[in-house]
Amino acid sequence: MAGLAEPLMLGATWFTEIQGGSDLGANTTTAVRGEGGKWLLNGYKYFASGAGLADIALATARPKGARSGAKGLALFAVPRLRGDGSLNFYLRRLKEKSGTVAVPTGEVEFIDTEAYLLGEAEKGIYYTLEDLMVSRLANAAGAVGVSRKAYLEAYMYTLHRRAFGKRVIDHPLARRDLLEMEILNLESLAITHKAIDLFEKASGDRPPYTRQYHYARLMTHIAKNLTAENAARVTMLAMELFGGVGFLSEYMVERWHREALITPIWEGTSNIQALDMLEAIVGKNAHEPLLEDMGQLAREAYDHEVAGSAYEFMKRRLSGLAGMSPAEAEFNAKYLLEDLGHAASVILLENMASTLDEEVYHRAAELVYRYVLARKPLENPGTRVLEEIISLQGSLPL
């Protein structure tokens, strides 16, 4: 009917196959030209999120005669229904998972499945990687949301639960845990917004990509990894603050921990992020615009000493790659990925403190630098920072 909005369509991405996992080049799903601009796909997708719900899915397949490996893959749009209205693929089974049960994940079989080629077949792997960038940014945002919810659950519980004659939140160890949770949340939020901003600025790029695009890609790997690791840590601490009841399914906090544990795995494991980070640095020199940008932000920071120290730390860690063999670089890649995330977050938080004129972000940056980068213990003054953070967020007063 004229004037009505188009009906809502649910989408999905179906890339993973059992024999390859993150190794997309091992995919065996094939594609042959059909009639009327359609292609016919044959193969098996092992992890198909939204299976049974999605109206259309993006799927990788290798056209007949295409080269082997990832660069031979093309990207296709697969509708749920064929042109004649029948189901376009077979849902073989749904997975039983420890988390994300609200999102059905199944195994999908293509048998002459109708599909539509997206763009140029030879550039399919580039479209696929761009789609993964979006998914990884969404993963980071999701990890931040789960982590924030777990913190709020724990904060409210410790505010009202009494133990040993006083509220749990009045015990220094409980405050220490809440403080750690919140500084990890703040750095996750800062780096997620930075990565999304960089992607939006470079999203119009096409192969061969600009250095700005490679920088956005590098920051996406950093943000995806950091937010996932922080979410796992924060939700675990939230469960501990609940005590034994935190392990019961009747309390939501145990669900948030289970939900958090998928974020280091979905859209490429932390190991994959580390390997892709190395390729972006060694193959594309993506660390150069990273250092240029972080250096400028450090000069504009609220506390030049803290931001500058984080920047020098970042430079030292990156320069250490030059003296490593390829095997050594890969072995140490995850450490570098984590350190780049924390160092960048310190600089971003200090810049936020300057831009927003909120000293609490400076205090959070100090704690990230001291506790995470310098590996020194948190000290009692952190209690005051926690109170300031809670006040800044508009939470209930202590």
In angstroms, the Cα distances linking 115 to 71, 83, 109, 167, 281 are: 19, 10, 13, 60, 36
What structural domains does the chain harbor? 11-118 (2.40.110.20), 127-393 (1.20.140.10)
Give the model confidence (pLDDT) of 23-33 as tens digits: 999 999 999 99
Give the model confidence (pLDDT) of 301-346 as tens digits: 999 999 999 999 999 999 999 899 999 999 999 999 999 999 999 9
Beta bridge partners of residue 12, listed in sequence order = 57
Instruction: State the pLDDT at residue 32.
Output: 98
**Which pLDDT band, with edges at 50, 70 and 90, does 398 fall under?**
very low
Instruction: State the pLDDT at residue 360.
Output: 87
pLDDT value at 379 more than 70:
no
Give the model confidence (pLDDT) of 164-214 as tens digits: 999 999 898 898 899 889 999 999 999 999 999 999 999 999 888 999 999
Instruction: State the pLDDT at residue 7.
Output: 82
Give the model confidence (pLDDT) of 355-377 as tens digits: 999 888 998 999 899 888 877 76
Q: Helical H runs in the chain?
A: 124-160, 172-202, 211-242, 253-260, 270-284, 287-299, 304-319, 326-356, 359-367, 382-393
Indicate left, alpha or beta for 149 from its phi (over 0: left) and psi (-120 to 50: alpha).
Answer: alpha
pTM here? 0.92
**Chain mean pLDDT for the chain:** 92
Instruction: State the pLDDT at residue 1.
Output: 44
What average pLDDT score do residues 30-52 get? Answer: 95
- Judge residue 343's burial from the number of C-beta atoms within 10 Å of its C-beta, 0-12 exposed, 13-18 middle, 19 or more buried: buried
d(CA 137, CA 371): 26
Instruction: State the pLDDT at residue 370.
Output: 86
Above pLDDT 90, what percent of the chain? Answer: 81
**Which pLDDT band, with edges at 50, 70 and 90, does 389 fall under?**
low
pLDDT value at 127 more than 50:
yes
**Which pLDDT band, with edges at 50, 70 and 90, does 75 fall under?**
very high
Instruction: State the pLDDT at residue 126.
Output: 94
What average pLDDT score do residues 141-164 get? Answer: 95
**Which pLDDT band, with edges at 50, 70 and 90, does 117 fall under?**
very high
CB 58 within 8 A of CB 24: no
Other beta carbons within 10 Å of 266: 18
Above pLDDT 70, what percent of the chain? Answer: 93
What average pLDDT score do residues 272-297 get? Answer: 97
Instruction: State the pLDDT at residue 157.
Output: 95
Give the model confidence (pLDDT) of 89-99 as tens digits: 999 999 999 99
Instruction: State the pLDDT at residue 392.
Output: 59
pLDDT value at 394 more than 60:
no
pLDDT value at 397 more than 50:
no
What average pLDDT score do residues 58-80 get? Answer: 97
**List of long-range contacts for 206-210, beta carbons under 8 Å, 24+ apart:** 207/123, 207/126, 209/284
Convert 348-372 to b/e letters by CB count within 10 Å (16 or more is b): bbbbbbbeeebebbbbbbbbbbbbb
d(CA 203, CA 223): 17
